[in-house]
Structure 1
Amino acid sequence: DLANGGDKAWGASPPYRDLGRDALAAVSSGPVALGRAGAGFGAMAGTHPGGTGSASLVTGEGYTVGALVCVNAFGSVTMPGLDDVYWAWPHEIDGEFGGGRPPAGWQAAPADWGAAKVNPGVRENTTIAVVATDAALTPAQARRLAIMAQDGLARAIRPVHTPFDGDVVFALSTSARPLPESGAELALAALGSACADTLARAVARGVHAARTQAA
């Protein structure tokens, strides 16, 4: 997000290429730091601290999917009036973002966005993510995976894709395992659904970690 102050007089050589190379050189085999770390440092998710989130899943067919996200959203990741319950709670695994659940019969009011930002500004909000899988994909299949994975943001943030947000999801494949020759489209549909669920978890995990660190 470019509306965050600082010296932007880069001329013909913006710093992003060098930052990308430095980030690649710094990659380790250790776990991804969640919360207020990396690109997520200083981010906000509605009125809560935002941050870097990640999650992964092995599907029933044995494919691995993973999601990495930087959550800096206008919308809220928690349910109105339920500060410890994340919109992504149906997809939570092993209490990874606190285990909060809405009470029986709870229902959101149509216009109640809960902990969304009160005065959002243009170019101040972006939730950017990447989903990855070891399934071998064509460019068209990878595009479909990204389209389906984008729904993970809608499962975790309300509202999302607003005029104040610059949300985007990229998809990549290590091509380690081919899709089945028979039923490839159905396998791709299952992968896309798994990526959406995993991205929703990553959003909640990143914000939950940031909130824990800020407490």
Structure 2
Amino acid sequence: MMKPGARNLITDVDGIKIGNSEDLGAMTGVTAVVPEAPAVAAVDVRGGGPGTRETEALSPECLVERIDAIVLSGGSVYGLEAASGATIALARQGRGFEARGIRVPIVPSAILFDLANAGNKDWGDMPPYRQLGIEAVQNARVDFPLGNTGAGYGAAAGKLKGGLGSASLIDADGIQVGAVIAVNPVGSVLIPGTRHFWAWALEQQDEFGGFGAPDLAADIPLDLPADSRLGENTTIGVVATNITLTKSEAKRIAIMAHDGFARAIRPVHTPFDGDSIFALSTERKEVTGLRPQVIAKIGAMAADCVARSVARAVYNAKSLGGVPGFMS
């Protein structure tokens, strides 16, 4: 038996906080996933056009064992600078390992492409992302809004407004799993010709409208919409659990979590998307029972949370910059 946590957010996982910041003029933003203590982490990249920072350090064979935050950002390559701002903010808090008296936080990150939206990108030599990264870390808390916020502020999902989504699941044994996803795919989150989400079968407590099963009178069109925003895409996110994991186990969960994208977005993992999912463990609870079975369960829970987060992001997003929100 499992059900969403009290908030139905990734912060239902003990030890996780989320900070968001936005530049309303530029129509972009940043989301920081900040564990209360350094966390074991891994990443799996499936899209054909990724933009990432410090992801190689998360490989199981590499030295780094734990991270201090993960940053998701709009802005394409400019948004990678948000991790620099987050690093500064975390160092000010005394986070990171110490090297000759200097604090060195480890902050992997991934970006999505929102440069073509209606926001003003005339920022000259100083894009806003470093400051947004600082503010996102400073804003870290357990409660946060969905939709037009953080890294999802300027996002679009096919022809609809994209956004930031989150969801959680907790089972009877105390396993906590959550996801936070910035949704900006080339594909659609809706079944063509309907108001139903591809993820409808996984919905909990009417969290994205309670529309139920679609009533399809004809075959579903299988063509990619001609007006999709090719080359202006990417869906990125983080899944987290309270269960103690190794880096290799976290990697397996990140791999499994990508199934949530496939259940909620069509098409996904295209050459135009940079789809990436980080997985982290706050190490608050030891595994009980046969370990591979527990890892498989966490991965399955993570995939469901990812799919639900995608739908919740779009359901909660409001019209912005000429891109219609789901409810408009």
Length-normalised TM-score, structure 2: 0.58
Match of 1:187 among 294, 302, 321: 294
Q: Counterpart in 2 of 1:37?
A: 149
Q: Report SS of the residue matched to 1:86.
A: coil
Q: Counterpart in 1 of 2:282?
A: 174
Please, which moves more after superposition, 136-145 or 102-111? 102-111
Which runs of 4 or more aligned residues in structure 1 lie more than 6 Å from their structure 2 counterparts after TM superposition? none
- Per-residue Cα deviation, 1:169-213 (whole angstroms, up to 9, x for no partner): 000110000112x41000100000000001100000010001568
User: How many corresponding residue pairs?
Assistant: 207
Contact (CA 8 Å) 1:75, 1:158: kept in 2 or not? yes
Q: Counterpart in 1 of 2:222?
A: 111
Q: Counterpart in 2 of 1:196?
A: 303
**1:46 counterpart letter in structure 2:** G
Give the Cα–Cα distance (whole angstroms) in 2 for the partners of residues 198 and 134 of structure 1.
Answer: 15
**2:179 counterpart letter in structure 1:** A
Match of 1:22 among 131, 135, 140: 135
- Per-residue Cα deviation, 1:48-90 (whole angstroms, up to 9, x for no partner): 11000000110243201010010011000000111x2100111
Contact (CA 8 Å) 1:127, 1:167: kept in 2 or not? yes
How far off its partner does 1:7 sit? 4.7
- Superposed, 1:25-104 pairs within 5 Å as 25-29=138-142, 31-82=143-194, 84-103=195-214
**2:293 counterpart letter in structure 1:** L
Question: 5+ unaligned residues in a row in structure 1: which ranges?
Answer: none
Verify: 1:138 aligned to 2:246, yes or no: yes
How far off its partner does 1:24 sit? 1.1
**1:210 counterpart letter in structure 2:** A
**1:138 counterpart letter in structure 2:** T
**2:146 counterpart letter in structure 1:** L
Q: Report SS of the residue matched to 1:36.
A: coil
How far off its partner does 1:17 sit? 5.2
Length-normalised TM-score, structure 1: 0.86
Change beyond 3 A, Cα 1:106–1:176: farther
**2:153 counterpart letter in structure 1:** F
Change beyond 3 A, Cα 1:108–1:101: farther
Give the Cα–Cα distance (whole angstroms) in 2 for the partners of residues 8 and 108 of structure 1.
Answer: 47
Higher relative contact order (CA closer than 8 Å, sequence separation 6+): 1
How far off its partner does 1:103 sit? 3.9
Give the Cα–Cα distance (whole angstroms) in 1 for the partners of residues 228 and 167 of structure 2.
Answer: 30
Contact (CA 8 Å) 2:155, 2:184: kept in 1 or not? yes
- Taking only the aligned residue pairs, the percentage that are identical comes to 46
Give the Cα–Cα distance (whole angstroms) in 2 for the partners of residues 179 and 70 of structure 1.
Answer: 30
Change beyond 3 A, Cα 1:42–1:117: farther
Give the Cα–Cα distance (whole angstroms) in 2 for the partners of residues 8 and 148 of structure 1.
Answer: 39
Please, which moves more after superposition, 196-205 or 54-63? 54-63
